[in-house]
A and B are shown apart, each in its own frame.
Chain A
Amino acid sequence: MLSCKHIMTVSDMTPDDITMILDTADSFTEVNERRIKKLPTLRGRTVVNLFLEPSTRTRMSFEIAAKRLSADGINFTASSSATVKGESLRDTAKTLSAMACDLVVVRHKYAGAPQMLTECMDAHIVNGGDGVHEHPTQALLDLYTMRRTLGHLEGLRVGIVGDICHSRVAGSLVPALRMVGATPVIIGPPTLMPARPDVLGAEVVYSLDDALPTLDVIYMLRVQFERADAMPIPSNREYAKLYGMNAKRLAAAKPEAIIMHPGPMNRGVEISSDVADSPRCVVLDQVNAGVAVRMAVMYLLLGGEGGGTAA
């Protein structure tokens, strides 16, 4: 059983929780390879996807995960709901609670919104990304992909490259890597680093070319044009030149190193098209892992309800 009722931040979890989620996801990967990709496991449970910020892959991934476990999935998006009529998040949460939902996946533009929901409803809450804070299921599926591709997690050097300051992906991945015994290395221009990068507990490197030959995983972050008010980089071309992954840089990396990206990719900015389409780029494996990992999270949160003891 997981030690936490909600999936809120990576630091709420224990290394055992992470291992349990990854091991359970292995079983679901097997299910996802079958012709009939459906299990009766969560029949009759209701999962709400409360996505108050645009999302394609995360929302679809949770939706598919819920459907494959036979849970009833309801999608709630900001544009087609009472939110446009001015309903507060707290009231929306209470409404969902009154409808007896079992699990709510929340994405919100403000950090801490999912945490607030835990205080006003009984359901399990899964943080589907809150502002620039955390995106824990992304970190879990990234770990799963690394473990599946490279065979282990302990001792890996994982370079996370780009907009560390605005990235909730980095916010979850850095502590998650530390928890499983890997070494996170954050790489980016000083303008895209947080004010105190040292407190993250990652190695800090400002030159991608310096760090490149030591890395087992090169994790490219998306340049988030929508989040930075004025992008603190001179131009996309300069960014691509200094921090973009391209064929030349790939050749300088360890021969077995893999390229990861949380998506959606800005081709030509942080990653060149030829690298994005190369077999060493495991972006689609990450998407594939996302479904299995989210099935595992739902199963482990909802499966043990009732608290009975094993007979």
Chain B
Amino acid sequence: MTPHMLTRSLDRGAAIFLAIVAACGILIPLSNLLLPAGSFLQVPTYLVALWGKYVCYAILALSIDLIWGYCGILSLGHGAFFALGGYAMGMYLMRQIGTRGVYGNPILPDFMVFLNWQKLPWYWHGFDMFWFAALMVLFVPGLLAFCFGWLAFRSRVTGVYLSIITQAMTYALLLAFFRNDFGFGGNNGLTDFKDILGFNVQAEGTRAALFALSCLALIFSFLICRSVVSSKLGKVLIAIRDAESRSRFLGYRVESYKLFVFTLSACMAGVAGALYVPQVGIINPSEFAPGNSIEAVIWVAVGGRGTLVGAALGAIVVNYAKTFFTSGVLAPYWLFMLGALFILVTLLLPKGIVGTFNAWREASRERRPAAASAAAEDGVTEPKMAE
């Protein structure tokens, strides 16, 4: 098989994916708003909120796939960037409450009033403006990722060491955000939002719009990731993933490439978090829990590492299963299933759903050994672990 055909086939997969996301992004909100409640085709509001959440997770999964699938950086702390983006948005939403808080204080959020804070901490200033908050959604996770990556990649912390210190990072942030003195509402986090850009967060129209916006963000993130991985930069990233030392000896500034893609990925995670918060209605430190980040990695593994589409798909599939299995008689067994999924996927489906599907399609279409080995050498469809 020629590389040309391969690209084309992948593009078709990507196109189908984008078409589905776009269709959902348009049809689901329309059906929710225009059709009468209770009619067969109407999507109930609770499903809109639920699927909006999945779409945000899909963006997070994409951001992880970008660095893990294409650059071999396994971050076990990506939930931290997601949560930071979420907190930036949450702070904006808190400031929007204004005098409608339970104490009617025009400036201070409720949790500061009842703990007798007298004035707003400096880092809360500016968040009453949407543009500033939106900027912070990108800037705060980006800056943290940049600093962290700058230190880690330059000193060549790789592989499991990197995974473990990213985990330490998110754990440290978890502890920090738990502290009430830190000024982010402690364990309860930020909640009881009223409106966003003047629209009521609870209103059906706002929910539908947020859903459409999340789909749009997913499409954009996907396109950005695609353009990164299919550019020359992407080839270098794959080279780094497969043989970091060799790439370095060939003269590539490995740390700069890694730093770029890590920061980009963190910003994407931040956007996902920012869209997640108004739809879920709360942001609190548990989003920093190391377990959450690890779970996000498993979405990518389930869907197919290094396939982008698979990452998004994995996030949606696993979360749907979670929603389904945590109700009813199966409720106490959800953790068994999640755990078994982790084990079975890594053992039996190392390429994930999409990766396996791609491999199967290639194999069935091209039975000739020559073509098969060409496909096997291609890094995009055949992710190989950096060791």
Are A and B interaction partners? no
